[in-house]
Structure 1
C-alpha cells in the first residue's frame, strides 16, 4: 500500500479541479492550502520529528519566491530553471544560517530563528534589489508544453503533484538511515551520538531539507500570484505555518496537509463571517482564531490527525536472505583493550572522579561498583566522550581517546547502555536497535530520498532482528519501544549496543528491573560475549549478579578507587564492607 498510494493521489490531482460543480473559489483556496502544506511538511521533519522549533520558515519561502521572481523578470531565465536556482539559494542560505543557529538548543534556538526571520523580512522590505515594500511584479506564469498555467485549475495540478512528491520524498527520507538519525534527535540525541550519529549533521540535514521544501513552495507561490512582496514572508506567516503543523499533528506528514487545510479554511471563513456578525470591519479573525487554537491544543495536544487516524508504527519485514554486515576481527583473549590512568573530573568545586585507574582486557568482564553518587556513570561518560575529563588518560587498544567526540569513539568499537534508559519513544523496538548499526551503513540522505538504499536497509534491519533474537525480544520487534517494561527496555539498549559490533561493551545497570529468570538469561548472554572475545565493563548494584559474573571488580567511593581485585577478595575487603557492602556482607 505504501508503494501504491501516490498513483491514485496523482490521478486525483489531475481530475479533481475539473469535476463539475467544484467552484473556482475552492480550487483557488486548495491551491493556497497545497502551497502551505509543502512548507508545513518541512516543519514536520524539522520541528515535529527533529525537535527544532523555527520561527523563520516563511523567510525560506521568500528566498524561493524572490529568486524565481528576479531571475524570471530581470534575466529572462525559464521558471523551471529558476526552480533549481531557488532551491539551491535556499539550501545555501540554510547552511549558512544553520551553521550558527543550530549550535543553539531549546528556547535559544527558537529565539535565534525568530531573530534571523525578522532580519530577513526587513532585508526584503528595504533593499531596492528586492523591490522594497512594493516587491516585484510581472512574473511570468508557468509554461507546460506551450500552455501557460493562468487558469487556477491547471495550476492546481502542478501544486498538488508537488505536494504528493513532497510527501513521498519525506516518507522515504524518514524511512532511511539518515531519517532515523533525524528521528533520534528528539529525546535520544545523546544515545544517537554514542552510536556514531553526527547529531549536528542530522540537525543540519533536517534544517536544510525543510528550507528546500519552503523554497519550492515559494517558487509555486510566485508564479501563481505573478508578483511578490515582503508581507507573506514575515514573522506572522512563520507563526501561522507553525500553527498549521501543531494543529494538524506536528509529528505526522498527513497532519501537515490536515493542519494547512484547517487553518486556511477557518481563517478564510472567519474573515467572511465575523465582520457581518459584529457589524464592523476589523481583524476579529485573529482573536477568534487564537481562542480556537487554544481550545484545539487543550483537546488534542498532539494535533488533530492522531485522533482521526489510528497511528501504527511501520512494520519492518526483515529479509532473512539479506547478506550479513561485515564484522570486526576479535582481539585475542587477554589483549589490553581499555587502559585508564589518573582519570579525574571536577564540576566546579565538586570532584566526581578522582584519579581513577583500571584496565579491561579482551574476553574479560570487569565490574565497576560502588554506592550511589560514587562516580560510576560519570566515569562511563568520560570513557565514551560524552564528558571531557579534567585530567588523566584513556587508551583503547593503545589509541588515546581523550578529546575525541562520542561518534568517533563509537566508530572504534565502543558501545554502551545508559543508567536512565534512552530510547526514542516515537520509534519501534527494531528501529531503536537499528540505530546501533548506524556506523555499519553508508547510504546518504539522497539515497534515502530516492529509495536507493533498500539493499543496505535490509542488511541493517536483519542485523537488528538478529540481535533482538539474541537477547530474547524477537517478538517485540514492531512494538513501540516505550510500551515495554523498564527491564525489557534495558535489554533493548543492550541489543542496540550489540548492533555496533563492539570490541568493548559498557553496561550501566543492565539488570535493574529484570526478574530472576531474565537476569539469568542476561548473565548467560554476557558470558557468551566474553567467550567471543568482547571486553565488558559493567556497572551494577545487584551484588549476587555481579559477584557470580565478573572476573574482577573495581570499587569506587566518592569518586575514588577504593579497591580492585577478584570478586571474593573484594567481598572480604574491610574498607569495601564498611563503605558499600555493609557489615552483614
Structure 2
C-alpha cells in the first residue's frame, strides 16, 4: 500500500533526469512530511543517488520540480539550498589532509554563514568564531569524535569520516538532513552510535531522508520506505511491509515470491 503525507515538507513532482541516452529518473514524485524518517531504497543503479543530487542542487533535473518548505529549489544553487535549511552527507566523504577534525567542522560553519566575519577582525567575528567552535565541540562530543578532534581529518577511519560528515552537515543547523549510505563500511559499534544520533536528531524535530543498504538499519530507524526501481517509484510503505511487497521483490530479484530483504538492502 502506498502512503504519502498530506502536509509535504519536501515535495518532489514528476522529476526526470537522463545522462545521454540513459534515463536515470522518470516521472518521480515523492512527498515527505515534517518529522519523518524516510529510507530511500532500490537496487544498484535505480537512481537513488541521482535523486539525492537533484534534491540538493548538485544535479539539475531535466523536468519536474522540487519544493522545500513551500519554496521551489530545483533551480537554486547547492550552497543556497543549504541556507534554506536542507543539508546532506556524501557516501564517500573526502577530507582535507592538512586540516584537523575540529578545523573541518569549523570550516563547515564558515561555509554556511559566510566568510565576512571570519576575514574581518571585529568583535562580531570573534563572537561568531567562538559560537562556531562551541557548536563544533558539542557535535564532535555527541558523535564521539572528541578523542580525534586534533588529528588530521584525512587520517581518521572511514567510519569516523562518515560521522564527521554528519557533524559538518549539522553545523549548518538544517531542518532536513539527507544522508547517503551513512553506515556503509562503518564498524558495528559506530553504527549503533549513528543510529542513536539520528534518533536523537529526529526526536528534536529533524526530518531525515536516508539512502542505505543495511536493512537492519532501515528497520531500526525509518518510519517509511520509498523504493526506486529503474528510475521510477515502485513502493512507499512501512519497513515491515517491504518483504511482502511484490513490486519491491520484483525490483530486487526480478520476480515475486521470495524474501530477499532479510539479508539484502538498497
With normalisation by structure 2, the TM-score equals 0.88
Alignment of 1:461-540 (within 5 A): 461-540=133-212
Q: Given the alignment of the two structures, is residue 337 of structure 1 paired with residue 4 of structure 2, yes or no?
A: no
| Contact kept in structure 2, 1:443 and 1:456, CA below 8 Å | no
Work out which of the residue numbers 440, 453, 466 in structure 1 matches 2:113: 440
| Cα distance in 2 for residues equivalent to 1:507 and 1:429 | 20
In structure 2, relative to structure 1, the CA distance for the partners of 1:570 and 1:584 (3 Å cut) is closer
Give the superposition deviation at 1:348. Answer: 1.3
Q: Secondary structure at the match of 2:9?
A: strand
Alignment-derived partner of residue 550 in structure 1: 222
Q: With a CA cutoff of 8 Å and minimum separation of 6, indicate the structure with the bigger relative contact order.
A: 2
CA contact 1:441–1:456 (8 Å) conserved in 2? no
Match of 2:68 among 363, 382, 396: 396
Distance 1:475 1:443 in 2: 31
Runs of 5+ unmatched residues, structure 2 = 1-5, 262-266
The one-character-per-residue Cα deviations of 1:276-302 (angstroms, maximum 9, x if unpaired) are xxxxxxxxxxxxxxxxxxxxxxxxxxx
More displaced, 382-391 or 515-524? 515-524
Q: Deviations over 1:200-243 (max 9, x none)?
A: xxxxxxxxxxxxxxxxxxxxxxxxxxxxxxxxxxxxxxxxxxxx
| Counterpart-to-counterpart distance in 2, 1:509 and 1:425 | 23
Hey, what does 2:79 align to over in structure 1? 407
* Structure 1 Cα separation of the partners of residues 27 and 113 of structure 2: 35
The structure carrying a bigger helix percent of its residues is 1
The SS at the match of 1:453 is helix
**Structure 1 stretches of at least 4 aligned residues deviating more than 6 Å after TM superposition:** none
Q: Distance in 2 between matches of 1:356 and 1:431?
A: 39
The secondary structure found in structure 2 opposite 1:436 is helix
Q: Return the offset for 1:563.
A: 1.0
- Specify the alignment match of 2:28 in structure 1: 356
User: For the aligned residues, what is the CA RMSD?
Assistant: 2.0
Following TM superposition, by how much is the alpha carbon of 1:372 offset from its aligned partner in structure 2, in angstroms?
1.4
Structure-2 residue corresponding to 1:575: 247
* Contact 2:118/2:125 (<8 A) preserved: no
Match of 2:264 in 1: none
Deviation for aligned residue 1:341: 1.0
Contact 1:551 1:567 in 2 (8 A): yes
Cα offset, 1:452, TM superposition: 7.5
Bigger strand fraction: 2
Bigger Cα displacement from structure 2, 437-446 vs 462-471:
437-446
SS of the aligned residue for 2:139 comes to helix
SS in 2 for 1:368: strand
- Counterpart in 2 of 1:162? none
Q: CA deviation at 1:424?
A: 2.2
CA 1:526–1:335: 2 relative to 1, 3 Å: farther
Structure index of larger Rg: 1
1:553 Cα deviation from its structure 2 partner: 0.3
Deviations 1:304-347 (A, max 9, x none): xxxxxxxxxxxxxxxxxxxxxxxxxxxxxx95311111111011
Partner of 1:190: none
User: How far did residue 445 of structure 1 move?
Assistant: 6.0
Contact 1:427-1:481 within 8 A present in 2 as well: yes
CA contact (8 A) 1:441 1:460 kept: no
State the distance in 2 between where 1:496 and 1:423 align: 11
Structure 1: how far apart are the matches of 2:119 and 2:187?
Answer: 45
How far, CA to CA, are the matches of 2:143 and 2:230 in structure 1? 34
TM-score by length of structure 1 reads 0.41
* Unaligned residue ranges in structure 1 (runs of 5+): 1-333
Question: 1:248 maps to which residue?
Answer: none
- Mapping of 1:306-345 within 5 angstroms? 336-345=8-17
Aligned residues: 251
Question: Measured at CA, do residues 527 and 447 of structure 1 come closer, stay the same or move farther in structure 2, by a change above 3 Å?
Answer: same
8 Å CA contact 1:369, 1:555 repeated in 2: yes
